[in-house]
Every structure is written in C-alpha cells, then in structure tokens.
Amino acid sequence: MRRGTRIAGLGHHAPAGLVANAEIEQRLGLEAGWIERRTGIRARRHAGPDEAMSDLACAAAEMALSRSDLPRGAIGLTLLATSTPDHLLPPTAPLLAHRLGLTAGGAVDLTGACAGFLYALVLADGFVRASGRPALVAAANILSRRIDPDDRNTAALFADAAGAVVLAPSERPDSGLLASALSADGAGYDLIQIPGSGTRRGPDAAAGTGHMVMRDGRAVFSRAIDMMAHGCRSVLAETGLGMSDVTHFAPHQANGRIVAALEERLAITPGRTLSSFEDFGNSSAATIPFTLSLRATERDYRDGDVLLMAAAGAGLTGGAALFRF
C-alpha cells in the first residue's frame, strides 16, 4: 500500500530562566534597545544549572506523545537533533527513549546544527513510509553553555529550548512530505564553530570545552539566506506548487533580520510566517518544531494545509522541505 504520513502530535518546552535584553546590554555596555533593533529578539530562555539537554527534550517529547493518538509501544524510531548532547559519548537519544518508555524501536542522535530537525524529519518520513511505524523527532539544545557571555554576536542570539513531532503513517498518500531539498556547503565549515570541542584541537584543549565563535556574521547572513531560498524554490518547483499555495511558512528562527530577508527574497507575506524568535531567541535545531507547536492553537493547522520549512546553519548545512497536513 502506498502510504503518506501525518503529524500526530506536537510538543515544545522552554526552561524557566528568562534572560531579557537589558541584562545582556548592561553587562556588555550596549545602548538600551540595541539587541532588539539588530535582531528582533526581546528575550530568551536559559536552562538552570541542574538541567540537561535531555530534560528539555523529554518535556517537549512528552507533550507531543500525549497529544498524539498513539500508544508508546508503536513508536519505531526516535531521532534527536542536537548540537549539545548530554555527553559526547554515549548518544543521548537512547536515554531519551528510555525515559519516555519508548522501548520498541531504535534511537539515535543527529548533529546537523540549525538544520538538524529538517534532516531528521526527512529521514523520519522515509522510515514511516517504509516501515508503517510511527517515529518521534525531537530537537533540543542548551546553547547558553556554549556561548561566550562577553561576545555580543552570540550572547544576544542563542538560547535553550526543545521541540518535538510525532510522525505517523497516513492512509492518504498525498499527505506528509511532498518534497525536500537538503544541501551542504563545506566551504563554509568554519563560519560558525566551537573550537577545541572535538578531535581537531590543540594539545592543551580539553574535550567538550570552548565557546561558539561566529567568524563572519555577514557571510553567515548572506549564505544562509541563499541556501534557504534556493531550497524553498527547489521544493516548490519539484511539486509544481507556487508560493501562493503555501499556507504556513516555518523558517529557522535565526533572528528577525534573516527571517525578514527570506520573506522578501521569496515574496511571501509575513502573515503566513510562524515565528517565536522574539521571545525565545535562537535555539538552533529546536526552533522549527518549537515554533510549530507553540503556534499550533492560534494557527489551527488543517487537512490540506501546506507547510514550507527552511533552515541553514553551521557546516554549512541546510535546505527546505514541503509538508502537507
């Protein structure tokens, strides 16, 4: 049987620690209002010292599973998109699945930076279609522990949050992922990085240490927009749909300037754009599922609605996906 896929449940979670712009601006000696004018971000959330990434992921996934109509024993795969795992080894996804009671399938981490959820969703959609079993896709990060608090380029942007999607089989073959256009550009490998955090490090660096560095913000800005815009046009061309057919647009919540520039490049009206960066900042891979879940009630996703997603991040990795509810 040719089957489609459907979103059976959405979930999101942000930690309680609210960090307003004024706190960062005062610490860095910035003029009041500087961050919001430059990024559109008003506040972000930071995890507490006793919170791990898996705690955030578990809370978002618990919400998504409870909102679905599926027994936990049905979940055949758990994918966790994160750049801040609980440990470098072992992977965190098996722990997440264990905590959620998902004992009947596999579980693995995916490190795709800000595009991690997009990659995980594409892989999960293929798994669900091939196996007929549902999958949990979670994305979570605690980036507050990877930013230099004295670096305004990262301290103002990055945050902690988690989002999750339960993807299930559908008897409607025209629902689910319609097209995807994933891309990678290793020529931009060092534009965003955490030096000293892996095997390519100096002899005095300790594994797992180091702060995030954005080497060239202008290059990140322009190349991210190019990558996302190209991906969006590719998936629309592949399906024969136009921008007017897109009901909901969920770009990676990098910052307000990138979202606005992408809307302009694609000629998409802001009223169709889902956003959360204003009050929650940039939590990397978590931003798309977090925003989808956060805005679900007010947007009332309906059968037949077309969702366009786009992301770009470190690596460079990115692309776009088109999904029909």
Determine contact, residues 173/3, Cβ cutoff 8 Å. yes
What is the pLDDT at residue 189?
80
Computed over every residue of the chain, the mean pLDDT equals: 93
pTM: 0.94
Q: What is the pLDDT of residues 269-302, one digit of tens each?
A: 879 999 999 999 999 999 999 999 999 989 899 9
Instruction: For residue range 72-97, list pLDDT tens digits in order.
Output: 999 999 999 999 999 989 999 999 99
Q: Which domains does the chain have, with CATH numbers?
A: 4-170 (3.40.47.10), 176-324 (3.40.47.10)
Distance CA 104, CA 108 (A): 14
- Mean pLDDT value of segment 17-24: 96
Among residues 13, 114, 141, 232, which one is catalytic? Answer: 114
Q: Report d(CA 282, CA 324) in Å as an integer.
A: 26
In what helix (H) or strand (E) does residue 24 lie, and over which residues does it extend? helix 21-28
Q: Bigger pLDDT: 253 or 187?
A: 253
| Residues β-bridged to residue 109 | 80
User: Which one is catalytic: 58, 248, 252, 255?
Assistant: 252
pLDDT above 90 for 118: yes
Question: Residue 205: its pLDDT value, please?
Answer: 56
Contact present, 242 and 266 (Cβ < 8 Å):
no
Q: Which helix (H) or strand (E) holds 27?
A: helix 21-28
pLDDT at res. 203:
55
- Joined tokens for residue 234: 């590719």
The answer to whether 105 touches 76, Cβ cutoff 8 Å, is yes
- Residue 209, pLDDT score: 56
Cβ–Cβ < 8 Å for 197, 209: yes
Whole-angstrom distance, CA of residue 55 vs CA of residue 48:
11
- pLDDT for the residue 201: 66
Is 114 a catalytic site residue?
Answer: yes
Backbone angles phi, psi at 157, to 5 degrees: -100, -50
Q: What is the pLDDT of residues 21-34, one digit of tens each?
A: 999 999 999 999 99
Nearest to residue 135, comparing CAs of 82, 89, 68?
Answer: 68
Give the pLDDT score at 269: 86
Read off the pLDDT of residues 179-233 as tens digits, 9 standing for 90 and up.
999 999 888 888 777 777 777 766 555 544 578 887 767 878 888 999 999 999 9
- How far is it, in rounded angstroms, from Cα 220 to Cα 154? 13
Q: Kindly indicate the confidence band of residue 320, based on its pLDDT and cuts at 50, 70 and 90.
A: very high
> Measured between alpha carbons, how far is residue 36 from residues 219, 255, 325 in Å?
21, 10, 34
21 catalytic residue (yes or no)? no
Q: Which helix (H) or strand (E) holds 65?
A: helix 53-67
Is 293 in contact with 63 (CB distance < 8 Å)?
Answer: yes
Question: What pLDDT does residue 202 have?
Answer: 61
Question: Residue 185: its pLDDT value, please?
Answer: 87
Question: Does the pLDDT value for residue 1 go beyond 60?
Answer: no
**Mean pLDDT in residue range 44-62:** 97
Non-local CB neighbours of 195 within 8 Å, separated by 6+ positions? 201, 205, 210, 213
φ/ψ of 172, rounded to 5, equals -90, 110
Is 255 a known active-site residue? no
